Each structure stands twice: as structure tokens, then as C-alpha cells.
Chain A
């Protein structure tokens, strides 16, 4: 369900400037595919708004135009690594002439992604929100579990873009277009009395699995790989999209 018109009205009321194509994610129950606690939890997710597509290079160029502190030449290394906006032809020019307008921005750090969303009155989706949407996409488009697993492994293993069109929510990407930053991407697990970041424990998988099938291994790979970024990490396949609270919009 698209919200173009509704949102236009809302924008006039000067509530945050969401991209004109945000999507309402209906509330519901979510069972995380990875065990972050000793018990299997079901979380109730409230409805929220989510960008239909990852933030584009063009949109990010507008952002750095109005927020000079986030230009490549200005953003302190505290907030990004050396690859930040690499391949841009200048501070303000992502060099997208030859590319489609909607090309997702990549080479952005977590800090930069958060600043962008903040400037739009939103925030990075939480891990629960983001993963909940993935579960909705799978469910509503009736993606077979093994097919989903093949997408995820193909994407992480070989950067194979996933040829999937969501006909239920109107979401682009999320699986096999770019990886996406989320607010609380770092896992935190316990080993006896020690806190483990779930970062590099070889073979430390089974205790985190809800179910030992292909699809759960695929989701686990995503949780785990994402958790190993540092907040300043920038890569050629790491972008983001923003989420917004629903109240205020409706």
C-alpha cells in the first residue's frame, strides 16, 4: 500500500519529509530466526513506515548538499573509514549520469546513514523492524524457504543480485540488492559470565539457531555478517533505507 498522496498532505503540515515512496509496514508478530536469548521470543512489532527502496545516490547527494558536515571532504574519520563515498566524482557529485536515478548509495558508514535518516525525521530501522519486513516479504510473496536460502547464500557468497519483485508491500531490495545498515546491528551474546559480541566465535552457531534448516542458516549468516561491521565501515555493497514512526503520518 503506497502512501504518496497521504504523505504529500502530511508534508504540508510540516511533519518530517519522508521520501514520497514510503510504505506502511503493518504491525504483527515476529519470531527472530536467531536466538538472542535463552528462550524463543515472539516480538510484537508495531506498524511503521519504511522507505520502499534503499536511499539513492541522488538522495544522498542532496543530503550532503544541505549538510556540508557529511561531505566526503568534511566528515571526520571518527564517523567513517577511508572508503566513504569512494568513487564519487566530487564532494557533491556521485557521478550517476550513466546509472539509473535510483541506484542505491553505498560506501556510507553507519553514522552517515543515521544522520541521513535523522535529517528526514526518521531513523535506521531496528534489527527487529528490518528482519520483520524480510519475514513479511517471504510470507506474503510465498517465497519457498529453500529459494530464499539460495538467494541469501548466492548474494553473500557471490554477490548474485536477487531477481525478486515484491508484489505484496511494494518493497524494493532487502534481499540481494545491497546490504543495509540497521540501528542495532551488533549482536551481543553471553558466554558464561562473559559478554561475547558474537563476532568471531568459530563454530558458535547451533546455540543461536531456532531451527536447523537452510533458511535459518541463511538468516543467521546475515545477522552474523552484519554484526561484524564496525560503525565506520563503508563497502561497495552496503547502503541503507530509513524507517519512520507511523503516528504523525496518519
Chain B
């Protein structure tokens, strides 16, 4: 199932006007990629600037304090100024979760070193009770994810639910104790806004890589 999304925040005037006024644009000269036009506009008015107040849509608004697999505290706003790759898993998950981490690695290694240096990876566990920092540490090591800038984190149950809802990730503990969940990888830009999002496992990384490069620009 998809919670797809791909429209980029745009500023403009009333939609009603758009209908009548813009409709005149004929398409005889083949299809211009109008999305691109808007993307450019969007970039134009959001230069990277640390002093800017948090944007309305920034995930940095989330005050939750996480604890990572090195047992260090972490809040999302700590990641300000860096691109972030995010996924959600749990350690007891045999099938999907290692694949998700593998997908994240592929994405990460698709970046050059300079880009990697400006990118953090956040793997958030669904399992607040079971996945302690120690458990996550072993998990990270086993999957080759114990890398600089990578954080396998746990937090309060309520914060996990908030976080997942911000990313459109649904999950539910099933009667056997595991978690049913959607498989999502998301990319945050330096301001903490979601710039890319992908559902499903083992997908080609191109689209998210593009989003990531856009986020890093």
C-alpha cells in the first residue's frame, strides 16, 4: 500500500485562478516537465541558512529524546544542517528489517565521501521494550551498520508512534509479539523536511538518491 507523495511545497495564489488562467497553456510543443519548473522555484527561496527559524514542516519540531546504539542521547534537531536517511525496523524482525537496513546502506554508499560526511542515518526501532541500546548495538554490528553518523535508536513508546506517524509508517504489535509495519525509507533535508520517501523493499535507490542529493545540494 502506498502513501505516496511527491508534490513539492509551492507558494502561489488561489487555485481557482489557476484553473482558468493557466489552462490556456497549450501542450502542443510536447510535454515540458512542469514539476521541474516548480522545483527550481522552490529551491530558489530556501537557501541553506542555519539562522532561519524552523519551517512549519520540519521534523526538528519533534522534541523527543532518543538513545542510540552507543547509548548516546539524540534529538532530531541535533541533525540540523545535515541530510538524514531514516527507516524504522525492530531487531526481532527476521525478514523485512535486514533488507531495509541493506537498502539504506546501498543508498548511503551511493553517495560520495563528501556527501556521506553531511548525511546521517537514523534507524528507529518499533520495539521500545525489547530493543535496548545494547540489543541495537549488536544488531548494528551484525548488519554492518555501526558506522560514523549512523544511529540505531530507541525511545519512549509515545515518541515512536509520533515519529512513525510523521513519516506515514503504520505499525502494530501482533499477538505473537512481533510488529506488523510498513516498509519505508525517507530522506530529510538539512532543515528537517521530508524530501523523499519510498515504500517497499529492495527498490532501486535512484529516486531516493536524487532526493538525497537535492537535500544536500
List residues of A (30-46) whose CB comes within 8 Å of B's CBs: 36-37, 39, 41
B-chain residues with CB within 8 Å of residue A118 when the two chains form the complex:
158
Q: Are A77 and B56 in contact (CB under 8 A)?
A: yes
> A195 at the A/B interface (Cβ < 8 Å)?
yes
> A79 at the A/B interface (Cβ < 8 Å)?
yes
Size bracket of the B interface: 20 to 34
Q: Are A78 and B172 in contact (CB under 8 A)?
A: no
**Interface pick from B14-22, B130-138, B173-181:** B173-181
**Interface pick from B86-94, B159-167, B209-217:** B159-167
Q: Are B172 and A79 in contact (CB under 8 A)?
A: no
Q: Are A78 and B59 in contact (CB under 8 A)?
A: yes
Q: Are B180 and A76 in contact (CB under 8 A)?
A: no
Q: Are A197 and B1 in contact (CB under 8 A)?
A: yes
Query: Would you give the shortest CB distance from B126 to chain A, in whole angstroms?
Result: 12
CB-based nearest B residue for A189: B180
> B57 at the A/B interface (Cβ < 8 Å)?
yes
CB-based nearest A residue for B183: A195
Contact with B along A96-116 (1 / 0, CB 8 A): 000000000000001100100
CA distance A190 to B178 in the complex (A): 14
Query: Would you give the shortest CB distance from A93 to chain B, in whole angstroms?
Result: 23
Q: Are A78 and B158 in contact (CB under 8 A)?
A: no
CA distance A196 to B183 in the complex (A): 11
CB-based nearest B residue for A117: B158
| Number of A residues, CB within 8 Å of B | 25
> B107 at the A/B interface (Cβ < 8 Å)?
no
> B70 at the A/B interface (Cβ < 8 Å)?
no
> B150 at the A/B interface (Cβ < 8 Å)?
no
CA distance A78 to B57 in the complex (A): 5
> B77 at the A/B interface (Cβ < 8 Å)?
no
Q: Output the residue of B1, B58, B158, B175 with the most chain A CB within 10 A.
A: B1
Query: Would you give the shortest CB distance from A60 to chain B, in whole angstroms?
Result: 19
Partner of B180, one of A41, A114, A188: A188
CA distance A197 to B1 in the complex (A): 7
Partner of A36, one of B1, B158, B170, B172: B172
CA distance A36 to B52 in the complex (A): 45
List residues of B (179-216) whose CB comes within 8 Å of A's CBs: 180-183
Q: Output the residue of B54, B57, B166, B170 with the most chain A CB within 10 A.
A: B170
> A183 at the A/B interface (Cβ < 8 Å)?
yes
A110-B165 contact, Cβ under 8 Å, with A78-B59, A199-B1: yes
A195-B162 contact, Cβ under 8 Å, with A78-B61, A188-B172: no
Q: Are B171 and A79 in contact (CB under 8 A)?
A: no
Q: Are A37 and B174 in contact (CB under 8 A)?
A: yes
Contact with B along A128-164 (1 / 0, CB 8 A): 0000000000000000000000000000000000000
Contact with B along A172-214 (1 / 0, CB 8 A): 0000000000011010101100111101000000000000000
CA distance A118 to B166 in the complex (A): 18
Q: Are B172 and A184 in contact (CB under 8 A)?
A: yes
Q: Are B58 and A195 in contact (CB under 8 A)?
A: no
Residues of A within 8 A of B (CB): 36-37, 39, 41, 76-79, 110-111, 114, 118, 123, 183-184, 186, 188, 190-191, 194-197, 199, 231
Residues of B within 8 A of A (CB): 1, 3, 54, 56-59, 61, 158, 161-162, 165-166, 170-172, 174-175, 180-183
- 9 closest cross-chain pairs (CB), A and B: A77-B56, A231-B165, A188-B172, A188-B170, A196-B1, A76-B56, A197-B1, A76-B61, A186-B170
Q: List 5 A-B contacts (CB under 8 A).
A: A39-B175, A76-B56, A77-B56, A186-B170, A188-B170
| Inter-chain pairs besides A188-B182, A199-B1, 17 sampled, C-beta below 8 Å | A37-B175, A39-B175, A76-B56, A76-B61, A77-B57, A78-B57, A78-B59, A78-B166, A111-B162, A123-B158, A186-B165, A188-B171, A188-B180, A191-B1, A195-B170, A196-B1, A231-B165
